[in-house]
Structure 1
Amino acid sequence: MGALVWLLIPLLAAIGGGLWGSWANRTRKVRGDGPELDGYARFRAAMEKPTRAPAEPDGGALTGR
């Protein structure tokens, strides 16, 4: 009788693993690429904006006079 109990442990583990595997691979509601593409478009627009030249600490006098 003890041997049957020890055989039930891997059987229950296999059943539990199969149930978990089927749950993990279920099809989920597809969200689409809309939010990601919108964010990418905002990122590109921000990167293409011209920036001001940084102010030079000595007022731009780099002649060395």
Structure 2
Amino acid sequence: MAALAWLLIPLFAVVGAAIWAGWASRNRTIGDVAELAGYARFRDAMERSHGGEDSGTERREPATASQASLAQRAQ
């Protein structure tokens, strides 16, 4: 009976490791979408708050990375 107990310990360890590995490798991209949308809202709010200093500025759409790099090259 003691030998059976010693054989069950590695078995439980393997089952626990398999459960942990499945949990650790789950797909977590769903939360990123919400965080990226929140960052976009934050960026828009920061642009609006700093845009109020100059009354002649108009509201611009946020530039994509490629548009921003092209604008920097043009300057």
Q: TM-score range by the shorter chain?
A: 0.5 to 0.7
| TM-superposition CA deviations, 1:10-51 (whole Å, max 9, x none) | 22122112112202221135252222211122123324543x
SS in 2 for 1:44: helix
Q: Who is 2:23 aligned against?
A: 23
Which stretches of structure 1, 4 residues or more, deviate above 3 A after TM superposition?
A: none
**Partner SS state of residue 27, structure 1:** coil
Structure 2 gap segments, 5+ residues each: 54-75
Work out the percentage of aligned pairs sharing the same amino acid.
32
State the one-letter code of the partner of 2:12.
L
Q: Residue 40 of structure 2: SS of its match in structure 1?
A: helix
Partner residue in 1 for 2:42: 39
Taking structure 1 as the reference length, the TM-score comes to 0.53
Instruction: State how far apart, in whole Å, the 2-side matches of 1:47 and 1:7 are.
Output: 67
Partner SS state of residue 26, structure 1? coil
The 5 Å alignment of 1:45-64 reads 45-50=48-53
Cα distance in 2 for partners of 1:12, 1:35 equals 42
CA-atom RMSD, angstroms? 2.2
What is the count of residue pairs matched by the alignment?
50
Unaligned runs of 5+ in 1: 51-65
After TM superposition, the score normalised by the length of structure 2 is 0.48
